[in-house]
A = this chain, B = another copy of it.
Amino acid sequence: MNAVEKLAAKNSVNKFICVGLDTDIEKIPRHLLTSKNPALEFNRAIITATYKHAAAYKVNFAFYEKDGVNGFKLLSDTLTLIPPDLPVIADVKRGDIGNTSGMYAKSVFDHFKFDAATLNPLMGKDSLQPFLNYKDKLNFILALTSNPGADDFEKLELNDGSFLYQKIIEKVNEWNDNNNCGIVFGATNSSELNENIKMFDRLAVLLPGVGAQGGSLPDVVNAFKKENRKNYLINVSRGIIYKSNGNDFAEQAEYELMRMNKQVQLIIDS
């Protein structure tokens, strides 16, 4: 089963929440710090508590790269803890000239064996092509992000009256020959989501920004429900993994994820 099929399979059972493992030693419960590898124990507990309810996991490399060799070791060890039937997204936002982009693709797909990656399209098609060549993987390309800086460039108006992020979505549709493209669309941009949702009919959509960043879960679910579409993942990181800072952190993460799943289900059934 390739990444697109795995995503579709998960969504057929109405699982839409992707758990982001943005593991930060400064934020994990203090009682873990006495263990030999606190960050790994944290990830193990979170994964054990959430995997039955998660649609996917997302790992942002930044939280691992910050510790160099040890961080990459933690990343490798963490990946072995995730059940193989769950898609795992490398949130790397890579993009570079072709030759170099090929090395990044090898890192993400061949070395670490992720099912999907996030990519930055600024440098254009050839900067992403090595990733797009992996037919069984899924590539979420940044279109409109959830942060305030989205105004700086992504929302700039072009000379044909469209916005840069719309031009990106248009191009991603053109690049989708292998049916392995998706976009990243920040959940904080609720009105843009509703206005443009028909543009990503044939793309998988990853929506970060719910929770700590202020995006609304019901807004996202309703937008896709109106279109009768299920090809999306809502990423929640801090809102789940740091729900509690006590001994019950894993249990609370599980409850929070189950609560979100139920909230989604209620909207879909309504």
Q: Which residues of A are interface residues toward B (Cβ below 8 A)?
A: 22, 24, 60, 62-63, 65-69, 71-73, 75-76, 93-101, 103-104, 106-107, 110-112, 120-127, 142, 145-154, 156-159, 161, 164, 167-168, 171, 208, 213
Contacts and interface: CB of A to CB of B under 8 A. Distances in A.
Given A60-B96, A93-B95, A124-B145, 16 more contacts: A60-B103, A62-B107, A66-B110, A69-B72, A93-B120, A97-B146, A120-B120, A123-B149, A123-B153, A124-B147, A124-B148, A126-B147, A153-B164, A153-B167, A158-B159, A164-B164
Nearest to A159: B157
Contact of A154 (B66, B122, B150): B122
A104 B62 contact: yes
A136 B159 CA distance: 39
A111 B66 contact: yes
A60 B98 CA distance: 13
Copies of this chain in the oligomer: 2
B73 A69 contact: yes
A121 B158 contact: no
Contacts of A97: 145-147, 208, 213
A150 B97 CA distance: 10
B126 A142 contact: no
Contacts of A67: 107, 111
B111 A68 contact: yes
Contact of A158 (B126, B127, B156, B168): B156
A65 B103 contact: yes
A152 to B, nearest CB: 3
Contact of A124 (B68, B75, B95, B149): B149
B123 A150 contact: yes
Contacts of A99: 22
